[in-house]
Structure 1
Amino acid sequence: MTLTLRTLTADELAPFQRVVNSAFLLDSAEDRLERWRGLFEPERHRGVFDGDELIGGGGIQTRDITLPGAGPHPVAAVTGVAVLPGHRRRGVLTRVMRAQLHGLHEEGREAIAALWASEAAIYPRFGYGLAAEFTRLEIPRGARFHPGASVGEDRVREVPREEAMPFARAVYEDVRPGRTGWLSRTDAAWDHQFADAEHDRDGLTAYRFALHPEGYAVYRVKPDWQERGPRNELHLREIAARTDEAYAALYRYLLDLDMVGELKSYTAADDPVVHLLEDSRLALRGRSDSLWVRVVDVDRALAQRRYGSDVDVVLEVADGFCPWNAGRWRFAVKDGVATVQRVDDAPDVVLDVQALGAAYLGGTKLTTLARAQRVSEVTEGALKALSHAFSGDREPHCPEVF
């Protein structure tokens, strides 16, 4: 039977969620469906149908993302991309991706799209590049800070959820504009990220909330009582602070909690806590991919962020999936601000749109991509200058899966 693609309606959230649950091998839960309702933008979700049966689809959340040096800008936060088992290898995913990206271009909406990939081999073929990573961090209880580290005089206290959440939201909004990769959050997004039903806990306790006058930390505990005493695991969900001293104070509080054996978290690749420690080897670290970025419109996207140094080069961009991006572009930066114009001049650097997306947030270096044979230098010195301009002051990080 011929497959058809169309925009979903508000009444089709339940069948769409069933597709997602089936594809990701999840059990259905009524409260999860209601939680999704606040995030579901039917006009931004496309479904593929085999006859009357919804067999796949994907959606977009309307969010802002903090860009290097430029604060929050719109991003198409791609979510819920799924195809029913038994209907794969039929071009369903390709149709959804093409509808999303071509629609964004035609409507002139977000200049970039971003997603978390369930499998890293899927999305590069649609032009997404690995733009950010996170660190799996493990630190033993009681790990000491270096002698010069200050945690100030303000106390950290634990409070109930209803008291903590308004304060956490205020801190997050204060901090977000300066944190590359952080997303805006609606009320529904906050509820979703900190959902605390039994099936959300994965065997851990309910969320606990630690507040400092200038920051907050949210965590769960995995009970582990051994013969020699408790070795509970503290799973840090999110930490944010307006000042470095408050950040240190929150970590100090968590690392000093009684009956804890180890703190575990998924954090920014350049989380300064590693350098707060007197013995940095106590912090075991492993890295993995987080955000994948797709440049929808080269000229609009590159002009939105700010850059670390002046540069003037011609880029030759390959983009088979979104052909309007293909060609040569003069990319000139003066005092951090870029202008991007289509030209016929000879190229200085040759790359594809996947490499451009990977470098976009400043975390993946173009010089690294060149060593991986994904970027080619034509004019000597152009690549180094371009890579330096793209590099950010801090690693991009997205503290939530969407």
Structure 2
Amino acid sequence: MATDDYTLRTLTADDLDEYAGVVATAFLSEGDLANVIDAERTVFEPDRTVAVLEGGRFAGVGGILTRSLTLPGGRARPVAGVTSIAVRPDQRRRGVLSRIMRAQLDGLHESGAEPIAALWASEAAIYGRFGYGLATDYIHYEITAKTPFRPGVDLGADRVREVARADAIEAIKPIYERHAATTVGALSRPGAYWEYHLLDTERRRAGASPLRFAVHPDGYAVYRVKGEWSERAPDGRLMVRELVATTPRAYAALVRYLLDVDLIGMVELDGAVDEPLTLLLQTPRAALRKRFDGLFIRLVDLDRALVARDYAADVDVVIEVADEWCPWNAGRWRFTAKDAQATVERTTADADLSTSSTELGAAFLGGTRLTMLAAAGRVHEHTPGAVARLSAAFLGEREPACVEVF
């Protein structure tokens, strides 16, 4: 329960160490505090970070990173990257998290900043009550090394080459930018975000090698290896940090390269829900697949957010929206999409369907279907066919993919 003993303030650069200390404690990383401080320093935006204080001491913290996110239609639009939400163990269940969420959402709305917020949840049950909807999933693959491809897979003529870290980042930046421009859910990586994303501390290695970089003219893979041996043969593990390809040939060549690394028994990879990986394999069962929740989306200003992306079908419906945490979104909205572009206006007309901003956030990137949410009782139809029409408009050509945790 919240009390009146708490205050909230925006941070300054001088607060970095205490801020990072709360983050390290909350995420069970006190033993790696120096590296946590160094990592946070690379992307720390103090003027977009708040702390809740009790007795002059930080009880909890939360930050926003200034990023862009590729939306359906290939548009990269500003997104508030919510990060490092951390509450000290002795401050749990006292309203500290709610104060941080309130400060962020109100601040974005009142300043007219990003109409969309995004986060990765350390515990998936937490953020739905603040209006964040699960917009992407990802698949964790474990593939038996040396698994052959099906006949006819085109690897092209270009070689995959190992590149030292000192040279790799500049080599792969333009490849990633081409990839991000066409991949819904991909994040921008300005400035220091490359070093932040590819941080390579001993804790992150967890006994494995430093990061390796395998580069193709149209793609790259960043990975680690860990040597292990069974009684019969080498049984090392290869763990892919990131696999990016801008052509089918580059994708196939990189996957083949990773599967064929010597002394490896198993390759691990996080990929999109519609990752083409198993379609390359002669034996798809050689790839064990587990599905996990990914990026959560919050429509902070619903009317500004919904017009930021393109739509796959024309539709004209009235949506009644519930939104406890951002009440300025609540009410009836006429949503019209024509020739991929949308308009969103207040209306007093009868609603064709009703839902909350959480469900609209979940559907926003085109992966989570509104029809599926309706089947779960989270979208309610009042005009027959309205949910199916709106769901079709929201869909994308491919599943959204974000495997970059921030």
Shorter-chain TM-score category?
over 0.9
Task: String of CA shifts for 1:102-139, please: whole Å, max 9, x gaps.
Answer: 11011111011000001111100000001001101011
Residue 367 of structure 1: SS of its match in structure 2? helix
Find the counterpart in structure 2 of residue 326 from structure 1: 330
**What is the alpha-carbon root mean square deviation over aligned residues?**
1.0
Residue 240 of structure 2: SS of its match in structure 1? strand
Alpha-carbon distance between aligned partners in 2 of 1:38 and 1:280, rounded to the nearest angstrom: 41
Residue 168 of structure 2: SS of its match in structure 1? helix
Paired letter, 1:8:
L
What is the aligned-residue identity percentage? 53
Matches within 5 A, 1:186-335: 186-335=190-339
- CA shift, 1:254, in A, is 0.8
Say whether the 8 Å CA contact 1:70–1:304 is kept in structure 2. Answer: no
Alpha-carbon distance between aligned partners in 1 of 2:240 and 2:288, rounded to the nearest angstrom: 15
Alpha-carbon distance between aligned partners in 1 of 2:254 and 2:135, rounded to the nearest angstrom: 28
Pairing 1:117–2:137 present:
no
Q: Which runs of 4+ in 1 moved over 3 A?
A: none
Could you list the runs of 5+ residues in structure 1 that have no partner in the other structure? none
Alpha-carbon distance between aligned partners in 2 of 1:311 and 1:44, rounded to the nearest angstrom: 37
Say whether the 8 Å CA contact 2:20–2:36 is kept in structure 1. Answer: no
Structure 1 stretch 221-230 or stretch 373-382: which is displaced more? 221-230
Paired letter, 1:136:
H
Alpha-carbon distance between aligned partners in 2 of 1:145 and 1:79, rounded to the nearest angstrom: 40
Pairing 1:16–2:19 present:
yes
Residue 304 of structure 1: SS of its match in structure 2? coil
**Which of 6, 9, 12 is residue 6 of structure 1 equivalent to?**
9
Paired letter, 1:52:
G
Structure 1 stretch 314-323 or stretch 219-228: which is displaced more? 219-228
Say whether the 8 Å CA contact 1:55–1:87 is kept in structure 2. Answer: yes
Alpha-carbon distance between aligned partners in 1 of 2:378 and 2:295, rounded to the nearest angstrom: 19
Pairing 1:175–2:179 present:
yes
Paired letter, 2:53:
F
Alpha-carbon distance between aligned partners in 2 of 1:159 and 1:356, rounded to the nearest angstrom: 43
Residue 312 of structure 2: SS of its match in structure 1? coil
Residue 156 of structure 2: SS of its match in structure 1? coil
Paired letter, 2:174:
A
Say whether the 8 Å CA contact 1:2–1:51 is kept in structure 2. Answer: yes
**Which of 150, 156, 171 is residue 152 of structure 1 equivalent to?**
156
Say whether the 8 Å CA contact 2:74–2:184 is kept in structure 1. Answer: no
Alpha-carbon distance between aligned partners in 1 of 2:75 and 2:171, rounded to the nearest angstrom: 22
**Which of 33, 38, 44 is residue 40 of structure 1 equivalent to?**
44
Task: String of CA shifts for 1:264-291, please: whole Å, max 9, x gaps.
Answer: 0111111111111122121110101010
Say whether the 8 Å CA contact 2:321–2:329 is kept in structure 1. Answer: yes
Paired letter, 2:322:
A
Say whether the 8 Å CA contact 1:57–1:82 is kept in structure 2. Answer: yes
Alpha-carbon distance between aligned partners in 2 of 1:277 and 1:307, rounded to the nearest angstrom: 33
Find the counterpart in structure 1 of residue 394 from structure 2: 390
Matches within 5 A, 1:63-82: 63-82=67-86
- CA shift, 1:198, in A, is 1.6
Say whether the 8 Å CA contact 2:78–2:114 is kept in structure 1. Answer: yes
Say whether the 8 Å CA contact 1:35–1:188 is kept in structure 2. Answer: no
Alpha-carbon distance between aligned partners in 2 of 1:242 and 1:286, rounded to the nearest angstrom: 25
Q: How many residues align?
A: 402
Find the counterpart in structure 2 of residue 400 from structure 1: 404
- CA shift, 1:57, in A, is 1.5
Alpha-carbon distance between aligned partners in 1 of 2:262 and 2:7, rounded to the nearest angstrom: 58
Structure 1 stretch 97-106 or stretch 221-230: which is displaced more? 221-230
- CA shift, 1:370, in A, is 0.5
- CA shift, 1:31, in A, is 3.4
Say whether the 8 Å CA contact 2:332–2:346 is kept in structure 1. Answer: yes
Could you list the runs of 5+ residues in structure 2 that have no partner in the other structure? none
Matches within 5 A, 1:336-355: 336-355=340-359
Paired letter, 1:251:
V
Residue 29 of structure 1: SS of its match in structure 2? helix
Residue 63 of structure 1: SS of its match in structure 2? strand
Say whether the 8 Å CA contact 2:227–2:263 is kept in structure 1. Answer: no
Alpha-carbon distance between aligned partners in 2 of 1:10 and 1:394, rounded to the nearest angstrom: 41
- CA shift, 1:383, in A, is 0.5
